[in-house]
Each structure stands twice: as structure tokens, then as C-alpha cells.
């Protein structure tokens, strides 16, 4: 499917380096069609393919997808098992595509909580794509921003206890460098689907100055044209970062 860019978008003008997406609404998409929830997650995988293509076309450097939150572990075990299998299938089926498209895969979150088979497949694809340079696709898995910040504080506290850092020396950069996203630029644009108006414990530190665009449609219906429209909205905004 070919999607046309909005006339208001300028490829020469302020393309976001990093786009973060809360992929919401898979289950509700399935429910409205009388399908099992897992079918919604399966349909959402097609949207990921579209967004990778669109981001590459725009020249975006990083795309971070909120794929599985730390709170999602409270879902029924049957759904979690199905989601982990779907993730493994996605990684296996997309591995060749990522190499062909020169896309690097990374993952953030408490990855040690993933099932061994899922973690093994994830590590394999990360290793295989580590030298790719056109786009970095980041999957937030078993991820929660509060947990991330707690882990960062623990790391800094350990450095203080070891004597390698003094309390008075702690700055914002120490926290940023201790987060799962260390070394990545902060998101410029945060997109959420399904019309919900919240950030759901996602990249709370990193999105401090991100522009936010909300779409009413569910994630499985999100396509290239929607990403282009979000970037067009982003380009219309004046990012002051607290200044005038």
C-alpha cells in the first residue's frame, strides 16, 4: 500500500530523530470484530512493519515501541504465553527483513523476566543486527518507567557506596546514563493510539519535552500515512524547551 505524505510535511524540515509509540488497542480491535485478543496482537505486527518502512523513508534514527509493559505480567497466563510466542514468531519472521533494511534491533526493560526461549531469540536478533545503521528499532519489553528509574537510582547509590561518586556530584546526566536508554537521544515525538490520554508509565524521564500526538484509531489500523500525519503535526509545533 502506498501512502502519500501530507502537503504540510517537509522532508527538509525538522524530522524527529526519535519517535516513541504506545501501541494501544490491540485487544479492543479484536473484540470489536469478535476475535480472540491474540488476533489483535497478531494484526498489530503488520502495523510495526508499516511504521519501520515509513520511519526509514523519513530518515528517523530511532523508533521505540511499547510492546509489553511490566504491568502486562498481571494478565492471564494464557495471554502472556500467546504474546511471548507471538514475539518469538515476529523476531524470527522479521530477522531477514531487518537485515535487508539495515535496521538495528535493541530492547529495553527488565529483560531477565522474559521466558528463556523468548530471551534467547531476542538476543540472537539483536546480535545479528548490531552493525546495521539505517534505523534503530527499540522494543520496550517487560518495561516500566518507574522500575527503570528505581534501577537507575540503585546503580547510582551503589556508585556512591563504592566511593566512585559523591552525592553532591550527582547530576541529571548521571540519571540519564543509568537508564535503560543510555546512549539514545530522548524522543522528540510520542504517539499513542486508541485515543487514550495518558503515558502509561512509558519513558517518563525521556519524554520530558516530547511532543505528543494522539490517534483515536486502534494500533492494528495505524499505517504509514498516520505516521506521516503525526510528523506533519510535530513540524507545526514550536518547541521552546522552557524558553520564550
Return the closest-CA partner of residue 133 out of 165, 155, 101, 85. 101
Residue 124 to residues 92, 120, 130, 181, 230: CA-CA distances in angstroms? Answer: 10, 6, 10, 20, 32
User: For residue 178, is it within any domain?
Assistant: no
Q: What pLDDT shows up at residue 239?
A: 77
User: For residue 98, is it within any domain?
Assistant: yes
User: For residue 163, is it within any domain?
Assistant: no
The string of DSSP codes covering 217-238 is S-GGG--HHHHHHHHHHHHHS-
Return the closest-CA partner of residue 65 out of 48, 49, 88, 79. 48
User: For residue 117, is it within any domain?
Assistant: yes
**CATH assignment of the domain containing 46:** 3.40.1180.10
User: For residue 6, is it within any domain?
Assistant: no
User: Each residue of 183-204: pLDDT tens digit?
Assistant: 999 999 999 999 999 999 999 9
The per-type count for the chain, helices as H runs and strands as E runs, is: 7, 6
φ, ψ of residue 21 to 5 degrees: the values are -130, 130
Q: How is the beta sheet containing 211-214 ordered, strand by strand? A: 103-108, 135-143, 62-69, 18-22, 189-192, 211-214
- In the residue annotation, 13 being an active-site residue is answered as no
**Would you say 114 and 142 are in contact if contact means Cβ atoms under 8 Å apart?**
yes
**Would you say 106 and 64 are in contact if contact means Cβ atoms under 8 Å apart?**
no
Tens place of pLDDT for every residue, the chain, 244 residues?
446 666 666 666 799 999 999 999 999 999 999 999 989 999 998 899 999 999 999 999 999 999 999 999 999 999 999 999 999 999 999 999 999 999 999 999 999 999 999 999 999 999 999 999 999 999 999 999 999 999 999 999 999 999 999 999 999 999 999 999 999 999 999 999 999 999 999 999 999 999 999 999 999 999 999 999 999 999 999 777 666 5
- In the residue annotation, 201 being an active-site residue is answered as no
User: Each residue of 75-119: pLDDT tens digit?
Assistant: 999 999 999 999 999 999 999 999 999 999 999 999 999 999 999
Count of the separate structural domains present in the chain: 1
Show the domain range for 73. Answer: 18-144+188-235
**Would you say 171 and 141 are in contact if contact means Cβ atoms under 8 Å apart?**
no
Model's pTM, two decimal places?
Answer: 0.93
User: For residue 138, is it within any domain?
Assistant: yes
DSSP 168: G
Give the active site residue among 10, 13, 26, 72: 72
Q: What pLDDT shows up at residue 1?
A: 47
Return the closest-CA partner of residue 40 out of 219, 214, 195. 219
Measured CA to CA, the distance from residue 140 to residue 117 in angstroms comes to: 17
User: For residue 90, is it within any domain?
Assistant: yes
Give the active site residue among 24, 53, 188, 226: 24
Residue 235 to residues 27, 57, 81, 213, 215: CA-CA distances in angstroms? Answer: 31, 16, 40, 12, 17
User: For residue 242, is it within any domain?
Assistant: no
Q: What pLDDT shows up at residue 74?
A: 95
Q: What pLDDT shows up at residue 64?
A: 98
CA trace torsion 57, 3, 206, 154 (10° rounding): -80
Measured CA to CA, the distance from residue 46 to residue 23 in angstroms comes to: 12
Amino acid at each position: 500500500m502506498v501512502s502519500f505524505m501530507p502537503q504540510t510535511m517537509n522532508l527538509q524540515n525538522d524530522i524527529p530523530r526519535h519517535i516513541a509509540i504506545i501501541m494501544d488497542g490491540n485487544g479492543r480491535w479484536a473484540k470489536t470484530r469478535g476475535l480472540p485478543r491474540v488476533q489483535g496482537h497478531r494484526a498489530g505486527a503488520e502495523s510495526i512493519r508499516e511504521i519501520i518502512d515509513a520511519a526509514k523513508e523519513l530518515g528517523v534514527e530511532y523508533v521505540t515501541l511499547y510492546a509489553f509493559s511490566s504491568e502486562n505480567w498481571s494478565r492471564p497466563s494464557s495471554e502472556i504465553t500467546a504474546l511471548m510466542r507471538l514475539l518469538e514468531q515476529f523476531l524470527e519472521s522479521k530477522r531477514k527483513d531487518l537485515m535487508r533494511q539495515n535496521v538495528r534491533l535493541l530492547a529495553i526493560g527488565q529483560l531477565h523476566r522474559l521466558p528463556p526461549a523468548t530471551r534467547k531469540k531476542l538476543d540472537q536478533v539483536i546480535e545479528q543486527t548490531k552493525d546495521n545503521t539505517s534505523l534503530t528499532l527499540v522494543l520496550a519489553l517487560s518495561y516500566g518507567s518507574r522500575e527503570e528509574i528505581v534501577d537507575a537510582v540503585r546503580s547510582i547509590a551503589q556508585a556512591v557506596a563504592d566511593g566512585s561518586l559523591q552525592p553532591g556530584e550527582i547530576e541529571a546526566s548521571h540519571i540519564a546514563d543509568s537508564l535503560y536508554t543510555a546512549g539514545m537521544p530522548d524522543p522528540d515525538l510520542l504517539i499513542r493510539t486508541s485515543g487514550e490520554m495518558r503515558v502509561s508509565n512509558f519513558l517518563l524521564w525521556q519524554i520530558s519535552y516530547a511532543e505528543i500526538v494522539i490517534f483515536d484509531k486502534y494500533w492494528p489500523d495505524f499505517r504509514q500515512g498516520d505516521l506521516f500525519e503525526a510528523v506533519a503535526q510535530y513540524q507545526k509545533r514550536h518547541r521552546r524547551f522552557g524558553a520564550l
